[in-house]
Structures are given as C-alpha cells and as structure tokens.
Structure 1
Amino acid sequence: MTAFWTEADFDDHELVQLVRDAKSGLTAIIAIHSSHLGPGAGGTRFWHYAEPKDAMRDALRLSRGMSYKNAMAGLPMGGGKAVILADEKRTKTQEMLAAFGDAVQALGGKYVTAEDVGISEADMVAVSQHTEFVSGLPVEGEDAAGGDPGPFTAMGIYHGIKAAVRHKLGKDSVKGVHVAIQGTGSVGGGVARLLAKDGAKLTLADMHHDRASALADELGGEAVAADAIMSVACDVFSPNALGAILDDEGIARLEAPIVAGGANNQLARAHHGAQLAERGILYAPDYVINAGGIISVTMEYLCRRHGDPCDINEVRKRLAQIPERLETIWQKSDETGVSPDVVADRMAQKLIGR
C-alpha cells in the first residue's frame, strides 16, 4: 500500500489508520477527514478490492465526502469512513467484526460507524458489542428513528429526483418521467418503489441481473444489462451502486438531461462535473442528495447518547430539506456558470473551515 499522504485524494485528513488483526483476519482502514463540526461519522464498507491502494483511495474519498455530506445536512458531525478489505469470497466472521469494533472503541469517540455497502444491521449489532460509538442499530416501533439507513437514503434521493425534474424539466410530478436506475439494492430498490408509486417509467439494472429483473416485474418496469444502463435514453439517470462512474467514457454515453442518485463519489475526478455542465446535464451533488441515511443514524446516535427518545418526524423534517439545498445549489450554479459540484464543494468547505 502506497503512502496515503501521496494519494491524489488525500486532503489533509486528520487521521488515517490501518487496522490489522491477524487472529481474525481483519484488515481495515479508518479515515477521519475533519472533526471541525464533531466526531467523524460515516459507515463501514465491506468490499473486495483488486489492489490495496484502491481501498485506501476509497477510504480517503468517502471520508472527505462524509465531511461535506454532514456539513451540508446541518449535522453536528465531522467526516469519517471505514473500509474492511474482504477476500474474494467476501468472508465475514464474528471475530472480524469484533476486532473492528475494538478498533473503533480504541479511538475513543473520534469516529462513529454505521452501515455501508456490504454491512448489515446485524453486523452493526455485532460491532456494538465492542464499541459504544456505533449507530444504525435496530429500533422498536414505527415512530422511532434509526435502524437500517437504506430506506432513509432512498427517501432523500426520491425527494431530490423530484426537485431535479422540477428544476430541469419544469414538471411538478414524475408521472411518466423515465428514470434509469443503476443498482437495485436497498437504496436503488427503495428509490424505484417510491418512483413507481408516482407513475414514473422505470428502466433498471444491477450487477445481479436477476434482482433487477425481479424488481422490474414487480413494478412494471424494464430490466437491462448492467453495462447498458448508462446508455439508456431517459429523463433521469440515477446511479445507486458504486462510485466513479462519471468519467470521460461514462459521461459521453449518457442520454439523460439529469443525473440524480445515491452512489457516493459519482464523479471520477473533479473536472467531470464541468463536463456534465458542458453537456447541459443537471447534476445533483451526491453527498447532498444521498444524506438521508446519515441523517437517520446521526439522530439515532445523538438520541441514544443523550438518553432521549428519537422521533422519526424529526428525521422526516430533515429529509424534506434536501430539495431546498439542491435548489439553492442549482440556482447559484445558474447565476454564476459554476458547475453544481463546485458550488456545493465551496459551500461545504466553508462550513468545515477549509
């Protein structure tokens, strides 16, 4: 693994820690980008990386994104992220999760973890046996905030897509609007179901084609191959899988006037936001539109720390503010000619004192 401070995505991170536990087989990276607004908060990703440097790049980019996401969502949390390096078989054991929990606890509250790709609510329960600095845990009752953040992320993206359709297409409804969704897991699947209720036309794709096909059958949509979804002529392209898909090739393939989805770090590099703008494509900055999950787990965590009940209505209230933030960004972009991603970055950097 190369020296992390030489990585292009190193951005004066406050802490980058390699965690090794030979007994359990755990290899993980915990990165804290900024604690200006509070402890670094962000989920743990369990993923197989072809090269260790890819894991480091992911940790650096994701933790910086969490700094921006938490700041723009008005949360009293900084930015942090963890990645657990899985083997090719995605082997995950209780011992591995315990060792990871011990590593989080050893940081003494500098980092608060929760679910991300490859990590379940049950996994967080296992981690919570070894650290108090964890959220996304099961809650009782429909009126309690917390638990799996996926549905809250999906709800925020749904609100954001409607805002984008209103801003770009001048439509107050998504009925009949064609949305191509990349990724049909917890988040993408949730977005698809919400849009289907409003009468949107859906084209779905997933690396697990059977999952996309089953959801398409359920919702009356169409499923296409994973490598074809970015070329679908549609009104909205909604990426809800892994990031860095908006590179030179990906942007050239797009046949949509809007990109709005929940994947983290959708822009492969900084200049790709300008490329989208040059093509007249409205971009919803990912860390603004996908903040629903961190809003939920943060409210859960703070309520638990203070011993207070956490009303889901407070989470819903904060989710409803996502379209307002996006509209502010787009209006400023329209006024200045600066692409939405840069507008959002500047706003977030100011909030975290950078």
Structure 2
Amino acid sequence: MKVFEYMQKYDYEQLVFCHDEASGLKAIIAIHDTTLGPALGGCRMWTYATEEEAIQDALRLARGMTYKNAAAGLNLGGGKTVVIGNPRTDKSEALFRALGRYVQSLNGRYITAEDVGTTVHDMDIIHQETKYVTGVSETYGSSGNPSPMTALGVFRGMQATAKEAFGSDSLEGKVVAVQGVGNVGYYLCKHLYEAGAKLIVTDINEDNVKRAVEEFGAQAVAPNDIFGVECDIFAPCALGAVINDETIPQLKCKAIAGSANNQLKEDRHGDKLQELGILYAPDYVINAGGVINVADELEGYNAERARKKVENIYNILLNVYQIAKEQGIPTYKAADRLAEQRIETMRRTRSNFLVNERSLHSK
C-alpha cells in the first residue's frame, strides 16, 4: 500500500502510529479532516491479518466519520483509532492507558470513543490519561449506552423515509422487516411496535428473536429469508454489505432504512436501488444518533438537548431526499454532497477569517 498516495487521493491530514513495548500496544490513529472541528471517531480493536489491513481500515473509517459528522450537523471532523489485537485476550489497563497518552499527545485534534471490540470500561481507562474521550461511564458525566439514541435516530429517519416513499410519516400498519434485533434493533422494534407497525424479524441469536416475538408480536423468519419477505420497509440492523447482487433481486420493499453501517456492498448497488424505485436512507445519516449523542458530552451532557439533536435526523434525511430529487441522483450521492458542501462552506468561511486575522496583524 502506498500510504501517502492514498492519503493524498482522499486528502487525509494525519496518520499516527502508536507503539508501547511494555503493554504490547500497536495502534493507528487516522485523522481525515478537521475543517469543522476536532476529529471524533471510535477506537476499534480487531485481530487484523496484516498491518496493511489495519492501516486501510483506520483510513477508511476515519473518512467515513468525516462524512457522518458533517451530515449530522456536528462541529466535528472525522478520525478513527484501530488497535491491533484480540479484544478477548489482549486487553490490559497498561495498553489502554498507553493509548490514552497518545490521544492526549494530539492535544485535542482527535477525540476517541467506544467502537467494535472496545467497551465503556476501556474508555474509562483511557480517560485516566486524557480528557479527549467520550462514551465513558455515566459517573464521569457520560451519556451511557448509545444504543437507545441510535435506535431513536433510525426510527425518526424511518418516519422521514415513509413520508418520502408513502406520502405520510405515519408507520401505523406498515410492515417493517428488521434484520438483526440486538441492542439497536431491539430498541428500534420497540419504537415501531409503539407506533403501530407490524414487525418481521430475524437474527442469528435465537434469544433475540424470541424476545422480539414475545414483546412485540413479531413474526420470525430465518436469516436468509428476510430479504425476500413482503414488506413496506426493510431495516438492516446487523452486518454491512447486505445490499448486493444476490439480495437486491429478492427485495420486495419500497424503502430501506436501518442502523447497519456500510449497507451498500458497492456504490453501484445504490444506483440499482434507484433504478428499481426503492428509496434508500443513507446509512451514515440515519444511524448517526449514537455519535450525535456522545458528541453532546463535549458540551457537558444534557439528555434533552441530545435527544432533540438526534430527532433532527428526520429533517436531515428529508433534506437528503430533496437534494436527490432536485439533482436527479441516488440518495447515497445526495448524502455525500450534503456533507461535502457543508465542509467546503466552512473551509471557505474559516479561510476568510484567517486571511482577515492575518491582515489585521500585518497592519
């Protein structure tokens, strides 16, 4: 991998390699763009096959956070940390404290958080070494478990999607097929049940399915059958890349709106959905409730304020759909343009400010 060539292609700012022999820490912090503010993005711990794979993941995820934070209206840029190691066997206090010191050394350019393979407890350890961390325990003034807020954002986004697809944001009587009823999926089902929707669910964990059937009267189907069920809205809330060449021909829905990351296996699958008349809620827009919630911690967490920001995903998605219609482009491209336009506007604004400031000092 030609690292600098890749960074130049997508305009990355910084890549930091972190090593601590005593704790065994091997980590990479990628900062993509800080135009809107300090880079915020989680800390992922994973058993990467190669160091190159870890670098690519850090860079890809950091850029994704730039778009997510920008589209969500946050004054934050995008960054990410990946720790090379087994999250079940390689964690230690020393490792996360060493990582915390590296985060602190960036002096606020990057703020970390919980992600795949890390926990609130891990963030608490990092917090011993730096204030630039969110998603810590509630005793530290944190927002706690992000799943309910992520689910609320998806629910509000689904209402906006229903308004665009069906002419009304009411979900009463709508059939929603939910793939994955774990943490976020469960809370989403709760909102949908209370709104009068009819649920079809699946999950590789049978206990999760049983709970949804018992509590929400959901109909259960096998994991491979969820794509072909007759429904109004398909909600992917588990793995990524589930919208692909194999699944698209099976879909019998009018809209897709779920919490999973990277739902389109390739961009062209978003083009295909548009051709078929299936409305797609861009994943990083509709699932931004979690990052919106933890970002509120940076101002001193206020649950009501955070909730209002999360519910605004409804309006953000309506804006995305409007851009898509006006420009005749798929919704995933409209979301990118919304994010890019906001970043570019602020880049020009800040540039003007800095020019004026320099001109004042030159007098």
Superposition TM-score, scaled by structure 2 size: 0.85
Question: What one-letter code is carried by the residue in structure 1 that aligns with 2:20?
Answer: D
Alignment of 1:1-354 (within 5 A): 2-5=1-4, 11-49=10-48, 52-87=51-86, 91-139=90-138, 146-303=143-300, 310-353=301-344
Q: Which residue of 1 aligns with 2:360?
A: none
Distance 1:272 1:17, change over 3 A: farther
- Helix, strand or coil: the match of 2:78? strand
Pairwise CA distance, 1:53:
4.6
CA offset digits 1:103-152 (Å, max 9, x no partner): 222222111011223322222112211221001123369xx872222221
SS in 1 for 2:247: helix
* Structure 2 Cα separation of the partners of residues 207 and 18 of structure 1: 36
Give the secondary-structure state (helix, strand or coil) at the position aligned to 2:223: coil
Greater gyration radius: 2
SS class of match (1:31): strand
Return 76-85 or 237-246, whichever deviates more.
237-246
* Number of residue equivalences: 345
> Offset at 1:90?
5.9
Aligned partners of 1:343 and 1:200: how far apart in 2? 28
Q: Tell me, in whole angstroms, the C-alpha distance in 2 between the residues paired with 1:191 and 1:211.
A: 13
In structure 2, the residue corresponding to 1:181 is in which secondary structure? strand
Question: What does the per-residue CA deviation read over 1:183-230, in whole Å, with 9 as the maximum and x for residues that have no partner?
Answer: 223222221221122222222233433333333333221333334333
SS in structure 1 opposite 2:196? coil
Give 1:22 shift. 4.2
Alpha carbons 2:271, 2:330 under 8 Å: kept? yes
CA distance in 1 between partners of 2:115 and 2:87 (Å):
18
Q: Percent of aligned pairs with the same residue?
A: 43
**Structure 1 CA distance for aligned equivalents of residues 341 and 79 of structure 2:** 18
The secondary structure found in structure 2 opposite 1:271 is helix
8 Å contact kept, 2:87–2:118: no
Give the secondary-structure state (helix, strand or coil) at the position aligned to 1:46: strand
The question of whether the paired residues in 1 share the 8 Å contact of 2:259 and 2:283 is answered with yes
Q: Structure 2: which amino acid aligns with 1:198?
A: A
Relative distance call for 1:341 and 1:105 in structure 2 (3 A) is same
User: How far off its partner does 1:280 sit?
Assistant: 1.0
Aligned with 1:18: secondary structure? strand
Unaligned runs of 5+ in 2: 348-363
AA in 1 matched with 2:259 = G
Q: Distance in 2 between matches of 1:225 and 1:88?
A: 30
Give the structure with the larger helix fraction: 2
Tell me the CA shift for residue 10 of structure 1.
6.2
Match of 1:167, as an amino acid? E
Which runs of no fewer than 5 residues in structure 1 stay unpaired?
304-309
Q: Matches of 1:198 and 1:280 in 2, distance apart?
A: 25
Q: 17-26 or 109-118, which moves further after superposition?
A: 17-26
Shift of 1:162: 1.3
Question: Which amino acid in the other structure matches residue 317 of structure 2?
Answer: L
**Distance of 1:18 and 1:55 partners within structure 2:** 11
Q: Tell me the equivalent position of 1:307.
A: none
Q: Which amino acid aligns with 2:278?
A: I
Q: Is the 8 A contact 1:10 1:60 kept in 2?
A: no
**Pair 1:191–1:57, CA change in 2 (3 A):** farther
Report the TM-score when normalising by structure 1: 0.87
Aligned 8 A contact 1:209 1:226 in 2: no
Aligned residue number for residue 306 of structure 1: none
Q: Matches of 2:231 and 2:281 in 1, distance apart? A: 16
